[in-house]
Structure 1
Amino acid sequence: MKTKIVAVINQKGGTGKTTTTINLGSALSKQGHKVLLLDLDPQSNLSYSLAVSSPDQTLAEAFVGAKSLKEILVEKDGLWVAPGSNELVDVEISLVTQPERESFLKSMLSQVKGFDYVLIDCPPSLSVLTLNALTAAHEVLIPLQMEVLTLQGLDQIMNTIEKVKKAFNPKLKIKGIVVVMFDVRRKLSLEVLDYLRENVQEKIFDSHIRLNVKLAEAPSFGKSILDYDSTSNGAKDYKALAAEFSLA
């Protein structure tokens, strides 16, 4: 299959973006797909969560041309990871003054072959690094909590995607919205979900990621939820999402 590059974005922190990138990637890998995860967040939560916390080279080196993207990749539990680092902050500052600053990641990814999926964990901001991800991506996946402020944030994300489509990447499309940290016992969660279904034209995946203690524990052990506890609700939910995602 042709490589599908998917940017996982939400401009708020703590929205399940990194958790979704890791565990959707792991579930796709266990389906037999070859998956690359890019940790584009200077906080490097994805790298830490998979115990890739002290890599020799990171995406920062690839952005400045000191290493190729292929040279920095680390294999972990059937996944390939391009680690992040704090140095991405400096990279972002330097990109601001560069011509075609939005296309660096697209150029880097063009040199890497053989992956079925590339999932990009974007920073929790609509930054130059996020712009690079959206310019390189074919599709966008948006993890959303069912909170009132979520709706305001979704409008901002949609507006940014439209601007990127017009300026840099006309083929970019929204893969869908993933409901995360879902608590069916909360009336508000159900109300926000109903509102989204009625007012948002984009696909909302039927597979919801429920609140799950095991999901919160897994990063402490450097594992995806599927490798940490394959019988947990978190693992079941991400397996279901991966099945739906690969058919969408």
Structure 2
Amino acid sequence: MAHIVVVGNEKGGSGKSTTSMHVATALARMGHSVGALDLDLRQRSFGRYIENRQAYCDREVLKLPMPEYLPLPRIEPEDVPEGQNIYDLRLDAAVTALEDRHDFLIIDCPGSHTRLSQVAHSLADTLITPLNDSFVDFDLLARHDPETGKITGPSIYSEMVWNSRQLRAQAGLKPIDWIVLRNRMGSQVMHNKKKVGVALTDLSKRIGFRVAPGFSERVVFRELFPRGLTLLDLRDVGVTSLSISNIAARQEVRDLINELNLPKVKVDF
């Protein structure tokens, strides 16, 4: 059965789809079989990313490592048994179609609370929560006192993750390994950055997640999307001289894969 990696939070613009694509591509490049689902039925950024990749490979006659992307199957309302949820059935059908064919299944969730996202979190063996490195996004995880910096209570999202953990425990499944990524961290050491770091470290001990550095703000991430490429593909598409920024970004991807500590994964890129 596939190891399920869910990338989720309830705010947009935190880098979920970029994270999903780079994790999926990195695993595929290391020889692992990877399935992919995008639960954002409106934006479909992760799904579009993979479709762009296939179109680019077809156009340039290239063969790049690629996850198998499967859109959620349609189910007609009249085919839904009484008392069951149509979104549960659609997700279950998609996971069933992929999980026995792949080593890993990457699921990208929407930046809002939906039934699909809620169910996906309960399926996660590994949960990655990217957030921009600010107290605006910290509020996704917990409420805090701006004067004292103390945590005053969990957020609705953290409570959802807790409920997902409880459901897994009741089903006899292993606990979720939860990693919070600090994306778009500034290169300068700033007072607010330090305060966010201290607050995350404190919160991680209270509600049980690991903190990891994510991706810096780089133009290259946005530039690669239309062709469906990642930083790991640049040399394969003819970029022989990488800029300092590209080399640093590639190292960020390597560090992320190492930090995830996924089963039977040894970073070799």
The TM-score by the shorter chain falls in which range? 0.7 to 0.9
Please state how far the C-alpha of 1:8 moved relative to its aligned partner.
0.6
Q: Identify the residue that residue 204 of structure 2 maps to in structure 1.
A: 200
Q: Point out the structure with max Rg over C-alpha.
A: 2
d(CA) in 1 for partners of 2:229, 2:136: 31
Q: Percent identity?
A: 20
Q: Identify the residue that residue 47 of structure 1 maps to in structure 2.
A: 47
Q: Identify the residue that residue 239 of structure 1 maps to in structure 2.
A: 254
Question: Is 2:168 the counterpart of 1:165?
Answer: no
Q: Give 2:164's aligned amino acid.
A: V
Q: Does the 8 Å CA contact 2:214/2:256 hold for their aligned counterparts?
A: yes
Of 224, 245, 249, the match for 1:218: 224
Please state how far the C-alpha of 1:91 moved relative to its aligned partner.
8.6
Question: Is 2:66 the counterpart of 1:79?
Answer: yes
Please state how far the C-alpha of 1:137 moved relative to its aligned partner.
2.6
Question: Is 2:192 the counterpart of 1:177?
Answer: no
Please state how far the C-alpha of 1:160 moved relative to its aligned partner.
0.7
Provide the aligned length of Structure 1 versus Structure 2: 223
**What is the 5 A alignment of 1:1-248?**
2-42=1-41, 43-52=43-52, 77-84=64-71, 99=84, 103-104=88-89, 105-112=91-98, 113-154=100-141, 155-167=155-167, 170=170, 171=173, 172-185=175-188, 187=190, 188-201=192-205, 202-228=208-234, 231=242, 232=246, 233-247=248-262
Please say which of residues 12-21 and 122-131 is displaced more in the overlay.
122-131
d(CA) in 2 for partners of 1:200, 1:50: 33
d(CA) in 1 for partners of 2:169, 2:76: 22
Q: Does the 8 Å CA contact 1:10/1:157 hold for their aligned counterparts?
A: yes
Q: Does the 8 Å CA contact 1:134/1:161 hold for their aligned counterparts?
A: yes
SS in 2 for 1:141: strand
Please state how far the C-alpha of 1:196 moved relative to its aligned partner.
0.5
SS in 1 for 2:111: coil
Q: Give 1:156's aligned amino acid.
A: I
Q: Does the 8 Å CA contact 2:204/2:211 hold for their aligned counterparts?
A: no
Aligned residues: CA RMSD: 3.3
Please state how far the C-alpha of 1:14 moved relative to its aligned partner.
0.4
TM score, norm. by length of structure 2: 0.70
Distance 1:207 1:30, change over 3 A: farther
d(CA) in 2 for partners of 1:115, 1:54: 19
d(CA) in 2 for partners of 1:49, 1:133: 20
d(CA) in 1 for partners of 2:184, 2:234: 18
Please say which of residues 169-178 and 117-126 is displaced more in the overlay.
169-178
Q: Does the 8 Å CA contact 1:44/1:84 hold for their aligned counterparts?
A: no
Q: Does the 8 Å CA contact 2:201/2:211 hold for their aligned counterparts?
A: no
SS in 2 for 1:38: strand
- Give unmatched runs, 5+ long, in structure 1: 56-75
Q: Does the 8 Å CA contact 1:182/1:211 hold for their aligned counterparts?
A: yes
